[in-house]
Amino acid sequence: MQHHPIQRSECMKNRILWLLGIVVPIAVIASIWVPPLAHYYVSSPGADAKLLSHLRVSPSDTQLLEIEHQNLALPLRMSDSEILDAAARLRDGELALKGFPAVAISPRFAKDDLRKGLPTWGLHFGSLAQTEILARAFEISRDDQWLNLALQNTLGFIKHERSVWLPDGFLWNDHAISGRISVLIKLWRLYRTHPDYENNTAQLLVEHILRCRQLLAKDSHFTFNTNHGVMQNVSLLQIAAAFPGLPDEERYRKLAIERLERQLGFYISPEGVVLEHSAEYHALGIDLLGMATNLLPMLDLSVPQHWTKLHRQAKGFLDVIRLPDDSLPMFGNTNSTPDFPPEHRSHQNDAHSTCPGRQGMHLYPVAGYAVTWSCEYHSTQSVLALSQFVGHGHKHADELSLLTWARNSRWLTNVGYWPYGVPGDEQAYGWNGSNAPHWPDETTTGEREPRLLSSGNLPGISFIEARRNGQGGSEFRRQVLQIGDGWWIVLDFAQGPTNQEAEVLWTFFPGISLAQQGDGSYLASQGANEIRVDFASNAGINHRLLIADRSPWRGWVVKDRQPTPAPSVLAHFPAGSMLVSSFRLADRGKSDSVELVFQANQSPDSWELAIQVEGVRKMKIARNAEGRIDLTEIEQFIDRSLLLTPAPDVRAERAAIRAAYSGLAADFPRYREVSTYRFKVTKILLAVFVGQILLFTLLSIYRRQQHTLLWLCGISVWISGGIAIHLWYFP
């Protein structure tokens, strides 16, 4: 029986709608994975025998050694004997990295090993730490078993990397890729002249270098805003210098230099300070820029003069902040233990490593630091940190924090570098990770504008003042007066809602004993020294001793790379008032009580403070509206005045930094790695799709007249939903 033409047309329309109802949802679900696949895809270029023959003799081993020493991976910090022991344990199926618990792994690589351990351990593994250990073991012992095992492990890693479509652990992490380049250069140097050399193995090694080069250069992978982006460019230069003659080498070399030139517009301030909010990352920045300036001559390129100038200035700032034991003040992500390569270590006959060579106040108003060295009887260092550059790396909520070092010991400190993946890592970036004044409920998000206001310095007395804005139009100001080389008087001012109280958490370095005295003061003791802590306010004040706590999180410092409980004093004072905190250093058992009295009608620009040190001295310290600090020793009839100098206007310099940052942000939008959420959305959409098919099939049987409308509605919802997902959920 023949169907009427209208019936045939209706049947064809229903089939088309049914087909679209299947294809459109599948297309929407598949489209969720197009961005990550496009982001991570790179081709696998070949390395022919001619190229391999050339690379076996060029460049020289001397040049390869120099490049591989520019190691961008996390340092292993292992002696030769420790390397040999670690290699033996690796052979037996255990990766033992210094500072981490041993982890069972396959000596010949297994993909599951990429997902083991804490994030920092994973970064080590993704940077081929296991290969580095085995290669170094071969260098030390000349035992072929270590080189063979290094090759087996690395080739397994390479084959897995070529086979996957989506990230696996730190396989495609920007730092891990940069870190593995120097390891691969070492392995190539050792293998290219080995009697067991084979072209097939060499081809895999060089082709992996080519894949790494593409990932390092890819726009969507470029982490322009942190040191990781600088590493990516340095790694491209390392590849160019270590593997001359690679296809398209001029384009990659030019790209690395152009990107690095643009990064230097915001990565380092005109004063030479690396703008990553951390002393330790400043030291890293010196290394990275030094690597770049060393690599350019290897490529027959001249080093731009301003690169050399910035490198020299950056070393100057390091000389100012570095402590005599080569450790650094713990602002930002900075460890308590020294971590300098040999070329950065100080020497006893170096004027910059002793206090007299750094005596006085060193201001960096663009970057946001003030460093004071006092060297009258004992060496002391004070650092006021107020650096804040939105989008730059490793930012803690620590503007206006004060760090002190005296008599070869840390006293007041910030939290330091909390290990990634260890509970508390998020809270360590908050206000309770520093002694900066803040509101108890103040968030760490939002733009804040800290700046230096004024300073003054004379032998035996120094003063520094800075401010920052807070939430809801509030403002904090901190003034630090240092008398001699062991007395800090800190004045904190808080302007905000009258029903609020500001707080300051003074945290001392672990190992210091902190106890409250009968008169309400505190005594911080360490070795042969102690600091007397006293408080005063022109309004109400309350303070108490704290032990380490996780809820709320406070009272922690990272010592020797381990989160450690630290003694703290928490002080509250009302908005609209001032808090005075006095820290007076003395020999143990010889500190005197200090009485602080505010006079009436105080303001940040005009105040008077009476001080009586039991049995020692009576003083009056005043600041007048004309910008002068007057210090009067009442019984000794000594008057001293310190004229304050307004901080320079650095708005133009900071605007230039923001413009350089914004330019790269516009050209290199960041890719968001949200594969976990993509899997969740995919599962939900698949369930909806299957449910829709079943529902529409049933409805088509019982409500045929609404068949067309059902499928049209379904298709429209899928198209609209797909657009919404890509616009708002996965932009």
Based on the fold, state whether residues 645 and 710 are members of the same structural domain.
no
Question: pLDDT higher for 20 or 685?
Answer: 685
Based on the fold, state whether residues 563 and 453 are members of the same structural domain.
yes
User: Exposed, middle or buried by CB within 10 Å (0-12, 13-18, 19+), for 468?
Assistant: buried
Joined together, the tokens standing for residue 512 give 């210091």
> What's the rounded Cα separation, in Å, for the pair 157 and 128?
9
**Sign for the pseudo-dihedral over CA of 190, 192, 196, 198:** positive
By mean pLDDT, which of 32-46, 228-242, 614-628 is the weakest?
614-628
How does pLDDT run across 233-245, given as a tens digit for each residue? 999 999 999 999 9
Q: How far is CA 19 from CA 5, 11, 491, 693, 694, in A?
A: 21, 12, 74, 11, 15
β-pair partners for 349: none
Question: pLDDT higher for 674 or 661?
Answer: 661
User: Which of 154, 186, 208 corresponds to the end of one domain?
Assistant: 208
Question: pLDDT higher for 632 or 339?
Answer: 632
Based on the fold, state whether residues 21 and 94 are members of the same structural domain.
no
pLDDT band at 62 (very low <50, low <70, confident <90, very high): very high
- For residue 138, pLDDT beyond 70: yes
Question: pLDDT higher for 468 or 7?
Answer: 468
Q: Is residue 148 part of a domain?
A: yes
- For residue 600, pLDDT beyond 80: no
Q: Is residue 249 part of a domain?
A: no
Based on the fold, state whether residues 355 and 480 are members of the same structural domain.
yes
- For residue 351, pLDDT beyond 50: no
By mean pLDDT, which of 254-268, 360-374, 590-604 is the weakest?
590-604
Residue with tokens 């062991």: 486
**Residue 2, by phi and psi: left (phi above 0), alpha (psi -120 to 50) or beta?**
beta
Q: Is residue 265 part of a domain?
A: no
pLDDT band at 283 (very low <50, low <70, confident <90, very high): very high
- For residue 462, pLDDT beyond 90: yes
- State how many domains the chain has: 3
Stretch 154-183: mean pLDDT: 97
Q: Is residue 216 part of a domain?
A: no
Show the CA angle centred on residue 176, arms to residues 261 and 415, nearest 5°. Answer: 85
CATH at 508: 2.70.98.70
Question: pLDDT higher for 605 or 618?
Answer: 605
Based on the fold, state whether residues 578 and 701 are members of the same structural domain.
no
> What's the rounded Cα separation, in Å, for the pair 455 and 646?
7
- For residue 659, pLDDT beyond 60: yes
- For residue 189, pLDDT beyond 90: yes
- For residue 353, pLDDT beyond 60: no
pLDDT at 497: 76
Stretch 653-681: mean pLDDT: 94
Give the strand order in the sheet containing 513-516.
513-516, 522-526, 529-537, 578-587, 487-495, 475-483, 461-469, 451-458, 645-646
User: Exposed, middle or buried by CB within 10 Å (0-12, 13-18, 19+), for 630?
Assistant: middle
Contact 396, 429 (CB under 8 A): yes
**CA-wise closest residue to 227 among 413, 74, 331:** 74
**CA-wise closest residue to 212 among 238, 189, 191:** 238
By mean pLDDT, which of 296-305, 321-330, 369-378, 502-511 is the weakest?
369-378
Joined together, the tokens standing for residue 728 give 């708002």
**CA-wise closest residue to 33 among 621, 683, 678:** 678
> What's the rounded Cα separation, in Å, for the pair 150 and 168?
21
Show the CA angle centred on residue 395, arms to residues 390 and 400, nearest 5°. Answer: 95
pTM for the structure as a whole: 0.92
pLDDT at 706: 64
Question: pLDDT higher for 703 or 114?
Answer: 114
Show the CA angle centred on residue 541, arms to residues 540 and 544, nearest 5°. Answer: 155
Q: Is residue 156 part of a domain?
A: yes
What mean pLDDT value characterizes the chain? 91
By mean pLDDT, which of 65-74, 165-174, 643-652, 713-722 is the weakest?
713-722
Based on the fold, state whether residues 625 and 697 are members of the same structural domain.
no
Name every residue whose Cβ is closer than 8 Å to that of residue 184 and which is 6 or more positions away in sequence: 128, 131, 154, 205, 208, 209, 212
pLDDT at 708: 73
pLDDT band at 637 (very low <50, low <70, confident <90, very high): low
pLDDT band at 725 (very low <50, low <70, confident <90, very high): confident
β-pair partners for 639: 632
Based on the fold, state whether residues 81 and 138 are members of the same structural domain.
yes
By mean pLDDT, which of 199-213, 309-323, 545-559, 717-731 is the weakest?
717-731
Based on the fold, state whether residues 19 and 66 are members of the same structural domain.
no
> What's the rounded Cα separation, in Å, for the pair 374 and 355?
7
- For residue 348, pLDDT beyond 80: no
By mean pLDDT, which of 23-27, 167-171, 183-187, 250-254 is the weakest?
23-27
Joined together, the tokens standing for residue 646 give 């307004």
pLDDT band at 219 (very low <50, low <70, confident <90, very high): very high
Based on the fold, state whether residues 575 and 473 are members of the same structural domain.
yes
Joined together, the tokens standing for residue 355 give 């206090």
Q: Is residue 264 part of a domain?
A: no
Based on the fold, state whether residues 441 and 351 are members of the same structural domain.
yes
> What's the rounded Cα separation, in Å, for the pair 453 and 554?
29
pLDDT band at 625 (very low <50, low <70, confident <90, very high): confident
- What is the phi/psi pair of residue 489, to 5°? -115, 115
User: Which of 163, 188, 208 corresponds to the end of one domain?
Assistant: 208
User: Which of 655, 671, 690 corresponds to the end of one domain?
Assistant: 655
> What's the rounded Cα separation, in Å, for the pair 102 and 173?
22
Contact 629, 613 (CB under 8 A): no
Domain holding 479, by residue range, is 342-655
Stretch 172-187: mean pLDDT: 98
pLDDT at 408: 93
β-bridge pairing 380-385 and 369-374: antiparallel
Q: Is residue 106 part of a domain?
A: yes
**CA-wise closest residue to 324 among 354, 364, 369:** 354
Based on the fold, state whether residues 17 and 139 are members of the same structural domain.
no
pLDDT at 19: 85
Stretch 478-503: mean pLDDT: 92
Q: Is residue 96 part of a domain?
A: yes
Stretch 35-55: mean pLDDT: 94
β-bridge pairing 594-598 and 607-613: antiparallel
Based on the fold, state whether residues 455 and 366 are members of the same structural domain.
yes
User: Exposed, middle or buried by CB within 10 Å (0-12, 13-18, 19+), for 557?
Assistant: buried
How does pLDDT run across 525-573, given as a tens digit for each residue? 999 999 999 999 888 788 999 989 998 999 999 999 999 999 999 999 9
Q: Which helix or strand (DSSP H or E) is residue 357 part of?
A: none
